Structure formats: C-alpha cells, structure tokens
Amino acid sequence: MFKRFIQRHLESYVVKYFQAHPEVKLVVVTGSVGKTSTKRAVATLLSQRYRVRMLDNNHNTDLSAPCGILGVAYPVGKVHSVGAWLRVFRAAHRRVVEPTDVDIIVQELGTDHPGEIADFGRYLRPDLAIVTAVTPEHMEFFGSIDEVAREELEVASYSRQVLLNRDDIEGRFAKFITNPNFSTYGTTGLGEYRFEQHDFTAESGYRGMVITPSEVSPSFMVSINVVGEHSLRPVMGAVAAALHYGVTPEEIVRGLQLIRPVPGRMNPLIGIGGTTIIDDTYNSSPAAALAALQTLYSFSQASQRIAILGDMNELGASSQSEHEKLGAACSSSLLDWVVTVGPEAGKYIAPAAQYRGCQVKVCRDAIEAGRFVRSVSQAGSVILVKGSQGGIFLEEAVKILCVTSEDVELVRQSPEWMAIKAPYFSQYEDFVGGRRR
C-alpha cells in the first residue's frame, strides 16, 4: 500500500508538470538492450541546440522514472522513509510551480515483467519513443520472444512518434505496433536513418555517411568514436531523434565528437603489458554477446584475441540453447582463449567452444578469470570481457587486467555494490577496495 501511494503521487506530479509546462517535450527510450547508450547519445546530440534533462543513472522503474523525469533525487537506500518521500514530494511540487529549466527531457523506461511498459502509459504521453531492440530478456517471466516484443513495443500505443531500431527488431513484430507514426534507424539498408561505413580504426572509430529520408539533408559525413557495429546503432537512434527535433547536420557532427562509450558497455581500456581491454561487463544477452564477439574478431592485427564470457542471466528455459549458441560462435581460428565464468557458461559455452576446437579455461569467478588471462596474455592482445551482473561481476576481472586505477571507468564500484559483491569473492582477503595485482 505504501509503495502504491508513493507511486500514484509521483505520477500525479509528472502529469501536473506537463500540464503546467506543455512546451517541454518528453523523449523515452526502451528496449531489450542498448537503452542507456541510446539515452546518453540522444541527450548529447539534443544538447547542441536545446536545454536537456537526463539523469545519468538507472532511473527507469515505476518509482524512480518519475523522479528522473522531474529531475528530483531518488531516495536510494531510503525508499521506506516517509520523511525522504516528503522531501521528494516538495521538490516535485517546486518543479511544477516554478518556471521550467529544460526544453526536452530524455528518460529511460525499463521492464522486468509483462505489463510494466503499459503501466507507464497511465501518466506519460511521450512526444517521441525510441525502441532500441527486441531480444531475449527476463525470459523466466516473458516466456517467448513474441511476448518480449509485445511488451517493448507497447510504448508506441501512447507515444506521438516512434523510432525503431530496424536492425534489432524483426519485421514480423510490426503486428504489435498500433501507431502508424514511426520511422526506422540502424546500420544496414533496412533503416530509413542509417549509417554507411567508409572506414574504421581502433583509435578513431568509424567514419562514414549518415543517410536520411530528409530532402533537406539527405546525407552528411560523420565520425563516430565507438567500438563495434552494434555500438553504432544507439548513435544512429540519437541522430534520427536529433534530426526529428530540427538539430542541423553541423550541430550533429559537433555533438558526435562528444560521444564516448558508456562504462561497462563496449568501452576500450588500456590493459597491462600493452594489451587492450574491451569492457562490456555491465550486462549480457545473446544478441549483445554475439555482437561483442564479432567485434573482437574484427581486430585483425591483434597478437592474441581472448574472450572472457560470463553467464547470460534471466534467460529462463532458453538458457542452455542460448549459451550453446554463443559457444558455437567461438572460432578456434579467431580466438586464442575462451575463458568462462559462471555455471551456465561453464556447462554450455565451454563444451560448445571446445567442440569448435577452441582452447578453453573454465574459471569459478571473475577474479580467477582475470588472473588467468593476465598470465597468458601478451603485448598486442585484445581481450573482450562480457557477462551479466548477478553473481558474475566481470568488472572485477577488468580491474586485474586494466592499467587505470580510476574505478569511475568501471561499473558497480560504489560502496553499496562492493558490499553486494563481497560474498561472491569472500575467499579473496584483499577484495574490498583492493586492485588485486
């Protein structure tokens, strides 16, 4: 009852805010993967012309999303405190009655169970919704990919305009889209807004042409400093959104220079001994893991290519088949080592990779994996680190492999997260606060 009371009050403040400030536009981002990268890229490009509010954290649930939209601090660790919520309500009221300080709000919407995206429609009427992907997620609750599609695409039913990542949303899911006002984006010929690659280097990223359906600006050259073709798709979603709001190609080109990988999401880091680490440790899903592996293969000049692959959580009954598919995608001619972490990875990825002729090491946890890879890597190696968070936490392997001592570049390094992770690494005396050299 307490949570329901809080939720309804927060929702009412959001409704009042947009009634009081109808000139403020709301852009929401949802999808199976790529939400945070897309959200940040959208905010970066729109900021070249507009005042933009985007809280750079995981404010995407039923209680926290209203706080993110209003720009009010979510009471982390105090969600059962009446006093904390009274302070939130007072801050929300001020947002309603005071002059607005933004033109566009960019908000991420997340879902764990069926019906949660529809629930946001009770009080939100986004000017633009971006759907980043429909891939397996929380399959223990959704059961099938069709139900995932139905959930993620529900946002279209209460949004004015919709942008869809055509590369990661199958055409057959169009049956779930009730809003005719949609456009598509991507990195293939399927998208109306798309990127055509001309060149790529590990140091500078991609250079190529943005193709648009606009008669005014049908194409323009850009440089995008990310790693991996799938990392281009969030950027193209942002380009499409920026053009929708009248941001000029010149402003977009300038904004693209500011976009960098999000920590834990295909983020290249300098490794020990002349190695390169691709830190993709924030989370893992079948589509994202396969794309990350293909990116690792693209480093043709690497002296070694090593993949540390952790469990992909929340796959339900499809877990075995999806892990086996990832293992089968491991090529002995392109990988020097496949290192697994987690029971599902050890049980299914490892034997599938061994069947493909790969050299495999099964590790019990992230720290063992990091120490092993450090012992076998050599100068010029490129090391992909990819896994889910719950119980896997491969950012702790990155710590061992990475030169930098600034934990802000890594995910889940707050005292709260370190306390959560401590039981998983209790056998290591130097875990808390240690770099484990």
- Catalogue all structural domains in the chain, each as residue range(s) with its CATH number: 2-256 (3.40.1190.10), 267-425 (3.90.190.20)
Q: How far is CA 92 from the centre of its chain?
A: 28
CA distances from 401 to 217, 264, 271, 359, 435 (A): 44, 14, 6, 20, 10
Tell me the whole-structure pTM to 2 decimals.
0.87
Measured N-to-C along each axis, helices 2-20 and 82-97 cross at an angle, to the nearest 10 degrees, of 10
d(CA 121, CA 134): 19
Q: Which residues contact 32 (CB under 8 A, 6 or more apart)?
A: 132, 133, 134, 135, 136, 137, 148, 152, 168, 285, 287
d(CA 197, CA 230): 13
d(CA 394, CA 90): 40
d(CA 428, CA 113): 36
Q: 397 - beta bridge partners? A: none
List the alpha helices (DSSP H) in 21-121: 35-46, 64-70, 82-97, 116-120
d(CA 284, CA 411): 13
List the alpha helices (DSSP H) in 193-228: none
pLDDT digits (tens), the chain, 437 positions: 788 889 999 999 999 999 999 999 999 999 999 999 999 999 999 999 999 999 876 656 778 899 999 999 888 778 778 899 999 999 999 999 999 999 999 999 999 999 999 999 999 999 999 999 999 888 889 999 999 999 999 999 999 999 999 999 999 999 999 999 999 999 999 999 999 999 988 778 899 999 999 888 899 999 999 998 899 999 999 999 999 999 999 999 999 999 988 889 999 999 999 999 999 999 999 989 999 999 999 999 999 999 999 999 989 899 999 999 999 999 999 999 999 999 999 999 999 999 999 999 999 999 999 999 999 999 999 999 999 988 999 999 999 999 865 555 899 988 889 999 999 998 897 775 544 44
d(CA 432, CA 437): 13
* pLDDT for residue 432: 57
- Tokens 């959704």 locate to 142
Q: 205 - beta bridge partners? A: 201
Evaluate whether 222 touches 253 at the Cβ level (below 8 Å). yes
* pLDDT for residue 299: 92
Evaluate whether 114 touches 142 at the Cβ level (below 8 Å). yes
Q: How far is CA 268 from the centre of its chain?
A: 15
The DSSP code for 215 is S
Task: Give the containing element (helix H, strand E) for 78.
Answer: none
Q: How are strands ordered across the β-sheet holding 182-186? A: 52-53, 104-108, 25-30, 128-131, 161-165, 182-186, 193-201, 205-211, 219-224
d(CA 127, CA 105): 10
The torsion angles phi and psi of 335, rounded to 5 degrees, stand at -125, 135
d(CA 149, CA 173): 6
The span from the first CA to the last CA of the chain, in angstroms, equals: 49
Give the side-chain half-sphere CA count within 13 A for 28: 31
CA distances from 289 to 44, 69, 307, 411, 416 (A): 26, 31, 10, 17, 27
Nearest to 280 by CA among 294, 267, 297, 296: 267
- Tokens 């991996």 locate to 228
* pLDDT for residue 58: 62
d(CA 113, CA 122): 17
* pLDDT for residue 57: 65
Evaluate whether 315 touches 139 at the Cβ level (below 8 Å). yes
